[in-house]
Amino acid sequence: MIWPPAKTLCASLACLAAACTEAQPATARFEATGELIALSGGDAGARGACVTCHGLKGEGNGADAPRLAGLDPGYFARQLEYFSKGQRRHPQMVWIADQLDNAARQKVAAYYAALPLPEPDVRNPIGAAACSPAIARLYHEGDEARGIEACAACHGDDGRGAGAGNPPLARQPAPYLAAQLRHWRSGERYGDPLGAMTHVSRLVAEKELEPLAGYSAALQDATKYPAAPEACLRERHPDPRSGA
C-alpha cells in the first residue's frame, strides 16, 4: 500500500473535520416541523418543549399558561420576538425564545395556528361576578365616562379576536388573562400599538379585573350583547318562584 504524503493526509483530515463542523447540529432533526419543535423543544431541549406547559393540543393549563391552539401565526411569532427582546418578561419563555431561530419560530407558530380550538375549560368556573350585566357592558360597550374603549372593539363580540394583531380571548384561561391585565398595568408587558392595553388596564378597577377576565374567557360561543356567555347561563340556578 502506498501512503499519501503526510501533508496531503493532514489536509484531507482537515477538510473532513471542517465538513463535520459545518454540518447541521444534532438537534436540527428536532426542528424539522413545528410539531417536532412543540414536542421536543428543538434547540431548547426537553425542558423547553411547548407541550410541557401548554398541553398536548395547545389548550393551555387552565391557569398561567395560555392556549396556543388557533392563534394567528404572525401574532404567535411576534410574541416570541417580544420575549426575546424583553417586551414580555417570563424567564422560561425568554430562554426558550432565545433558543429558537426565526425559521423555527415560524414553524411552531404555523403548527399551533392549524390546531382546532380546545373544548371549553371547566376547571376554573368564572364565578357570578363575571356574569354580571355591568361586566358584560364593560366588555361590549366600554365605559365612556372613564375613557375605557370596549374590549370587543379589538377582540370581537365573540372574543375570537378582530384581525391578526388582536388575539382571541375566548377559551383562554381566565387566570392567565387576569395576570396579563396586571402585567400591562404594571409595565411588565408593553409594545402594544398606541399603548391601548396599557391605557385600558390602568383604567379598569381592580375589583373588575378578574370578572372581566372571566367573562372574556367564557365568550367562545357567545352571541352579541346583551346575551350572556354560555358559561354564565350554565351557572344560573333555577328559581322556584318562576320556574326559570
List pLDDT tens digits, range 177-235: 999 999 999 999 988 878 899 999 999 999 999 999 999 998 876 544 445 676 676 54
More confident residue, 244 or 155: 155
Dump pLDDT digits (tens) for 108-160.
999 999 999 887 766 566 777 888 889 999 999 999 999 999 999 999 988 99
Domain coordinates of the chain in residue numbers? 30-113, 128-235
Tell me what the pLDDT averaged over the chain comes to. 82
The predicted pLDDT at position 129 comes to 82
The CATH number, out of the four listed (1.10.150.120, 1.10.357.140, 1.20.1250.20, 1.10.760.10), of the domain defined by the range 30-113: 1.10.760.10
pTM (predicted TM-score): 0.79
Q: Is the pLDDT of residue 5 over 70?
A: no
Dump pLDDT digits (tens) for 88-103.
989 999 999 999 999 9
Q: Is the pLDDT of residue 44 over 70?
A: yes
DSSP the chain: -PPPPHHHHHHHHHHHHHHHHHSPPGGGGGGSSHHHHHHH-GGG-GGG-THHHH-TTS---SSSS---TT--HHHHHHHHHHHHHTSS--HHHHHHHHHS-HHHHHHHHHHHHTSPPPPPP-SS---GGGGSHHHHHHHHH-BGGGTBPPTHHHH-TTSS-SSTTS---TTS-HHHHHHHHHHHHHTSS---GGGHHHHHHHHS-HHHHHHHHHHHHT-TT--STTSPPHHHHHHPPP-TTTT-
The predicted pLDDT at position 32 comes to 83
The predicted pLDDT at position 242 comes to 34
Q: Do the first three CATH levels of 30-113 and 128-235 match, i.e. the same topology?
A: yes
Architecture of the CATH domain 128-235: Orthogonal Bundle (1.10)
